[in-house]
C-alpha cells in the first residue's frame, strides 16, 4: 500500500507588487559587488529517537550544511534575483551581501521512511504532517554600519494515502523552492527599502571578515509573488 503527500507553504513572504515595480524600475540603485550564501539545516529528528537520552541534559541539536546541490541552487537563485532587482552587479557594484538560510526539521525521504512513516502507520486513516521552518537573514553594509533583514517561512507536507494522485502537483521539493524564491524576493525589497530610505546615503564596502559561511554553504568561499525559471 502506498502513501501520498502534498506540500503547502505558509508565512508572510510575499513582496508587494508596488515595491517590486519601484525596485526593478529604479536605475539609481548602488548595487553590491558580491553575494555570499550559506545554508545550514537542523535535520529532522523523530521524537522516538530521543528515548533513553534523558531529560536533564539532552544533547543539543547541531546544524549541518545543506547538500552541495541544494546550496548551489540557492546561491544561483539568490544571485539571479538580486541581480534582477538591481542590487547585485559584480562589475560595477561595491560591498558584499551575506545571505544566511537556516532550515529547521528539513527531511529526506530516506529519513522518514526509516522512522516517521514506519512509526505513524495511522496516516492511512488520519493525515500526518511534517513542518519545516526557514529563517532567511540578509546582512549588508550601510553608512551607519551593518544592517540586516529577516524573513520567516514554513513548509508543511501532509501524508495521506488518499491524496496520492496529488503528489505530482504538490511535490515537497518544488514547494520548498517556490517558498525560498518568494523569501529571496521579499528580502530583496526589504534591502532596497533600507538602502533607499531618506538619509541612508550609499552603502560602503565591508572591511571585516565574513560573519557567515561563504559560497556553497560548506564554509568555503565560493500581497504577490515574482518568480523566475529554475
Count of alpha carbons within 13 Å of 48, Cβ hemisphere only?
8
pLDDT in tens, 13-63: 778 888 889 999 998 899 999 999 999 999 887 655 555 555 666 667 788
Answer yes or no: are the C-beta atoms of 66 and 87 closer than 8 Å: no
The reply to whether the predicted model has a pTM over 0.75 is no
Residue 213 resides in a domain: no
* pLDDT value at 176 more than 60: yes
Average per-residue pLDDT in the chain?
75
* Number of domains present in the structure of the chain: 1
Listed in sequence order, the residues at least 6 apart from 48 whose beta carbon sits closer than 8 Å to its beta carbon are 115, 119
Residue 202 resides in a domain: no
Residue 91 resides in a domain: yes
Residue 212 resides in a domain: no
Band (pLDDT 50/70/90 cuts) for residue 220 is very low
Residue 122 resides in a domain: yes
DSSP-derived 3-state class of residue 110: helix
Element (H, E) at 199: none
Residue 224 resides in a domain: no
Band (pLDDT 50/70/90 cuts) for residue 70 is very high
Residue 52 resides in a domain: no
**3-state SS, one letter per residue, for 150-165:** EEEEEEEEEECHHHHH
Higher pLDDT residue, 108 or 50?
108
| Stretch 189-198: mean pLDDT | 86
| Stretch 139-158: mean pLDDT | 86
The residue segments making up the domain with residue 103 are 5-46+63-196
Residue 113 resides in a domain: yes
* pLDDT value at 124 more than 80: no
Amino acid at each position: 500500500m502506498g502513501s501520498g503527500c502534498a506540500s503547502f507553504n505558509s508565512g508572510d513572504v510575499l513582496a508587494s507588487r508596488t515595491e517590486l515595480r519601484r525596485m526593478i524600475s529604479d536605475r539609481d540603485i548602488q548595487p553590491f559587488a558580491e553575494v555570499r550564501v550559506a545554508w545550514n539545516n537542523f535535520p529532522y529528528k523523530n521524537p522516538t529517537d530521543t528515548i533513553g537520552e534523558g531529560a536533564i541534559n539532552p544533547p543539543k541539536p547541531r546544524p549541518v550544511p545543506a547538500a552541495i546541490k541544494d546550496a548551489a541552487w540557492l546561491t544561483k537563485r539568490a544571485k539571479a534575483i538580486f541581480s534582477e532587482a538591481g542590487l547585485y552587479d559584480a562589475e560595477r557594484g561595491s560591498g558584499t551581501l551575506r545571505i544566511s538560510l537556516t532550515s529547521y526539521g528539513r527531511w529526506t525521504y530516506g529519513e522518514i521512511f526509516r522512522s516517521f512513516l514506519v512509526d505513524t502507520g495511522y496516516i492511512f486513516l488520519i493525515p500526518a504532517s511534517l513542518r519545516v521552518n526557514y529563517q532567511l537573514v540578509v546582512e549588508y553594509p550601510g553608512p551607519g554600519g551593518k544592517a540586516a533583514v529577516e524573513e520567516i517561512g514554513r513548509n508543511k507536507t501532509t501524508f495521506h494515502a488518499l491524496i496520492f494522485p496529488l503528489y505530482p502537483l504538490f511535490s515537497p521539493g518544488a514547494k520548498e523552492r517556490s517558498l525560498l524564491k518568494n523569501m529571496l524576493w521579499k528580502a530583496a525589497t526589504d534591502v532596497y527599502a533600507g538602502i533607499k530610505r531618506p538619509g541612508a546615503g550609499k552603502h560602503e564596502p565591508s572591511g571585516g571578515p565574513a560573519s557567515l559561511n561563504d559560497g556553497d554553504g560548506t564554509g568555503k568561499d565560493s500581497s504577490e509573488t515574482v518568480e523566475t525559471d529554475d
